[in-house]
Amino acid sequence: MESKLGWIDLSAVALQRLRRDLEGETQGVVDEMGVLAIHAGYADRFFPGTSVLQTRPRYIFFTCWNYLMLDELDGNTAKARKELAEDWVRGQLVNANTMQRGIVGLRVERPAQPVDFIYWTALRKWGFYRGPDRAKLLSSWTANRVRRIEASEPEDENALDDSKAEFLVPPPPHYWFRPRPREALTFELTAEEADFLQKRLQSLPSCLLSGAASHARKYKAKGVALWKDDLIVEAAQELKEFDVLERARLASSLGLMIRAMYGALVEQRRNETTDRSQLSSIDDVEHYKTILRGILAHKSVPAAIRKLDLALLRQDLPRLSDEFFSLLKYVKERVDGVKRADDIDNQLLDDDTLNRFCREEERRKQRRARLPDTAFGAERRETFDEDTVSVRRINFRWNVVRTLLRDLHNGLRSET
């Protein structure tokens, strides 16, 4: 996604909304139906502070060290010095004689979302930072008292003072910001850093992330899905969250179905309203319908949707809008009505379903909606093809969290 962010002071609500939008764009997921509300709801509950934009957990230490030593660099503004700091980190990671998977900004000089933006929520939620928000810290740098604090220091009554910016983190390495350090900078957590990170994660309010972090030394996260990983399953059982984890699994199937139905409905509308010459450039005019057929033929998906208790889902995710919840109920009922392959057209791609999806997309996207039979809709459908919609299950940031827990495991094991 091409995006440029100005240095404006975003409210917490606006920042959260922006992060959700960025998550959707980063995953390549068309979210006209609101499926990312399920993704974000469960992911925030299970793994607070995480984002799909994150790559490796050691970046959180890099970010703290950059801010603590920002005045060591030349630059007219704090923002300019911060960018130089991030350039130094990127350069050191690239120059290391190891494979460095997950370098932010590897292909562009200035990534649209800089590292400190990506990890700022984690800094706060995991207890690495307290003080003014990121924008205010950089715009009023000289007025702030930036310092490193020790883990043993209690939070005093002036902790919310906007002139204080405190980073709870081990001290920066002695070579930080040196032009040509002898030490290679890698993503491998040192034993001290891994122990520190584990304690920070364990201090979170009870959640799957804190529970998994407690057992990260013993187990290495490797499940292909969240609910298939021994570390997560054990944490869920200990925290009495296994039923919630199971509902998230079932909800991922419902999200998959909604994405497939959306793609097939737009495809159907495009095929009906576009002239033959334009359709001739499309290799498979029933690409999404074929995917939908395949999902329904895989009995586990409709079975999971039928098993999902939407009333309990709403208890888990109370922020779901009434309109979107109504769509969930509608899709579940329609899937229940599919008994054979021929039912796809009259249960999932009929006029009533098209109108339901169309109303929800218009409510969410207004003129950017693809389904409406309008000039705006037709314009949006001109570029609709086999690559537009990524039809896959919701993974609740598991790829990010799995990497986090693996790096934590390796760092903790390095002590021995």
> How many H-runs (helices) and E-runs (strands) does the chain carry?
19, 3
pLDDT of residue 275: 85
pLDDT in tens, 254-296: 999 999 999 999 999 999 998 888 888 888 999 999 999 999 9
- Whether 17 shows a pLDDT value over 60: the answer reads no
State the pLDDT confidence band at 171, using cuts at 50, 70 and 90.
Answer: very high
pLDDT in tens, 38-70: 999 999 999 999 999 999 999 999 999 999 999
> What residues are paired with 145 via a beta bridge?
164
Q: Where are the beta strands (DSSP E) in 60-154?
A: 129-130, 145-149
pLDDT in tens, 78-117: 999 999 999 999 999 999 877 789 999 988 878 889 999 9
Mean pLDDT to the nearest integer, 392-416: 93
Q: ∠ CA 324-266-31 to the nearest 5 degrees?
A: 40
pLDDT of residue 1: 42
Residue ranges of domains in the chain:
49-237+397-413, 243-381
pLDDT in tens, 230-247: 999 999 999 999 999 999
Helices 287-297 and 242-273: angle between axes, nearest 10 degrees: 150
Give me the sign of the Cα torsion angle 91, 94, 98, 100: positive
Contact by Cβ (8 Å): 165, 145: yes
- Whether 23 shows a pLDDT value over 80: the answer reads no
pLDDT in tens, 110-163: 888 999 999 999 999 999 999 999 999 999 998 888 999 986 556 555 555 566
Residue 91 φ/ψ, nearest 5 degrees: -60, -40
pTM, full prediction: 0.88
Q: ∠ CA 47-93-146 to the nearest 5 degrees?
A: 65
Bigger pLDDT: 396 vs 156: 396
pLDDT of residue 276: 85
- Whether 12 shows a pLDDT value over 60: the answer reads no
State the pLDDT confidence band at 24, using cuts at 50, 70 and 90.
Answer: very low
- Whether 2 shows a pLDDT value over 80: the answer reads no
Looking up tokens 């919310």, which residue turns up? Answer: 160
Question: Which amino acid makes up residue 234?
Answer: E
pLDDT of residue 164: 87
Neighbours of 166 (CB within 10 A): 19
Mean pLDDT of the chain: 90
- Which DSSP symbol is given to 348? I
Bigger pLDDT: 327 vs 142: 327
Looking up tokens 């491998």, which residue turns up? Answer: 188
Helices 398-413 and 191-202: angle between axes, nearest 10 degrees: 130
